[in-house]
A and B are shown apart, each in its own frame.
Chain A
Amino acid sequence: MREMVLVQAERLPEGVASEEDAKSLERGELDQLLAANAPLAYRVAMGVLRNHSEAEDVAQEALFRAFRKSHLLRDGQRFKGWLVRMTFRLALDRRRSSHRRADRETRWAQPELRPPTPSVEEMVAAKQFQERLGRALDELPRHLRLVLILAAMEGYSMAEVAEILRTSTGTVKSRLFKARKCLAEKLR
Chain B
Amino acid sequence: MKCETYQRGIVDLLAAVDETQMPLEIRSHGEVCAVCREFYETQSRLFRSIDGGIRSLVNQAVPSALYSVPAQLPEGAAEHRHLGVPVWAFGIIGAVAAVLALFIGFHRQPQTVAELSSPARVSQDALESADVNKNSRMEPRKPGRAGIVRKPQLNSRPPQGGTAEKPLEVIVLAEEREAFAKFVAAIPSNENVAVALSRPAPSVPGAPVEIALLQVSSMKVDPLEGTPRD
Contact = CB atoms under 8 A, between A and B. Distances in A.
Interface of A: 27, 30-32, 34-35, 38-39, 41-44, 46-47, 50, 52, 56, 59-60, 63-64, 67-72, 129-130, 133-134, 137, 148-149, 151-154, 158, 173, 176-177, 180-181, 183-184, 187-188
B135 to A, nearest CB: 78
Contact of B11 (A60, A173, A181): A181
A154 B80 CA distance: 36
A181 B63 contact: no
A175 to B, nearest CB: 10
A173 B81 CA distance: 39
Nearest to A50: B57
8 contacts: A34-B69, A43-B58, A63-B70, A67-B77, A70-B78, A71-B79, A152-B59, A154-B59
Contacts of B69: 34-35, 38, 60, 63-64
Contacts of A72: 86
B66 A38 contact: yes
Contact of B62 (A39, A129, A133, A134): A39
A100 to B, nearest CB: 23
A152 B63 CA distance: 19
Ordered nearest first, which 8 A-B pairs have the shortest CB separation?
Answer: A31-B70, A181-B15, A38-B66, A152-B54, A39-B62, A34-B70, A180-B15, A47-B58
Contacts of B81: 71
Interface in B48-73: 49-51, 53-55, 57-60, 62-63, 65-67, 69-71, 73
B47 A184 contact: yes
B215 to A, nearest CB: 56
A151 B53 CA distance: 13
B77 A153 contact: no
A173 B67 contact: no
B18 interface: yes
A44 B60 CA distance: 11
B65 A56 contact: yes
